[in-house]
């Protein structure tokens, strides 16, 4: 089992094109851990903003009476992919992994596969 720091380091080393990664508590909007980012990507701001995205999607699913679980949410920008993966498991309700990827260097299918693997090993 991997802790937060190990999981985020793994994301940056095993996934091509990562700009930044965070583990976020969407009940509070706080990042529990971050790696990468920089002047062009403030991961604390991204954590709070993407919390609103997750909450809005969960609310929409509830209104539509969808009995599904969100695996991930993809936001495609001109030069980046933003990938949000909700954490499953008995002790991890209310958490998601967030990745910002350089669109020119990232393989989206592989990024999703690796993020799923990292999520399954994460113990918070």
CA 74 vs. chain centroid, Å, equals: 9
Model pLDDT, residue 1: 55
pLDDT at 13 over 70: yes
**pTM: predicted TM-score of the whole model, two decimal places:** 0.91
- Provide the percentage of residues in the chain whose pLDDT is more than 90: 77
Q: Mean pLDDT in the chain?
A: 91
Angle at 33 between CA 31 and CA 38, to 5 degrees: 85
Model pLDDT, residue 123: 80
Domains and CATH numbers, the chain: 4-121 (3.30.450.30)
pLDDT at 90 over 90: no
Tens-digit pLDDT profile for residues 42-85: 999 999 999 999 999 999 999 999 999 899 999 999 999 999 99
Distances (CA, A) of 28 to 31, 34, 38, 55, 81: 9, 16, 23, 11, 24
User: Rounded to the nearest 10 degrees, how much is the dihedral formed by the CA atoms of 62, 64, 69, 71?
Assistant: -110
Model pLDDT, residue 83: 97
pLDDT at 101 over 90: yes
């Amino acid at each position: 089992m991997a802790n937060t720091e190990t999981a985020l380091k793994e994301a940056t080393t095993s996934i091509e094109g990562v700009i930044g990664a965070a583990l976020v508590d969407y009940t509070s909007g706080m990042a529990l851990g971050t790696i990468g980012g920089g002047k062009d990507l403030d991961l604390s701001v991204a954590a709070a903003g993407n919390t609103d995205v997750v909450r809005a999607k969960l609310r929409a699913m509830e209104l539509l009476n969808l009995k599904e679980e969100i695996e991930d949410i993809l936001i495609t920008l001109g030069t980046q992919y933003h990938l949000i993966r909700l954490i499953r498991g008995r002790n991890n309700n209310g958490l998601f992994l967030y990745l910002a990827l350089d669109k020119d260097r990232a393989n989206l299918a592989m990024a999703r596969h690796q993020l799923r693997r990292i999520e399954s090993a994460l113990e918070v």
